Amino acid sequence: MKLSVQISRGIESLFGTRDENIRVLEDNLGVTTRLLNDSLEIEGDERATSRAGRILDDYFSL
């Protein structure tokens, strides 16, 4: 399953130093991510992808 999450300013803090934060998300949920122009594409099984999407939505709503 693929999911696209709209991103906003401050994406750098999400990724962290050398992308360490986004790797934690990928490793723990078993998903892969790809940064596009205005969104972050998440790919993995349906449950993990949905969970990653909710985590990112919560992060961006802070």
| pLDDT beyond 80 at 10 | no
pLDDT at 14 over 90: no
Contact (Cβ atoms closer than 8 angstroms) between residue 21 and residue 59: no
Find out whether 22 and 30 touch, Cβ atoms under 8 Å. no
Q: How many CB atoms lie within 10 A of CB 44?
A: 19
pLDDT at 27: 97
- Is the model's pLDDT at 9 over the cut of 80? no
Quick one: pLDDT at residue 44? 98
Domains of the chain, start order: 2-60 (3.30.1370.10)
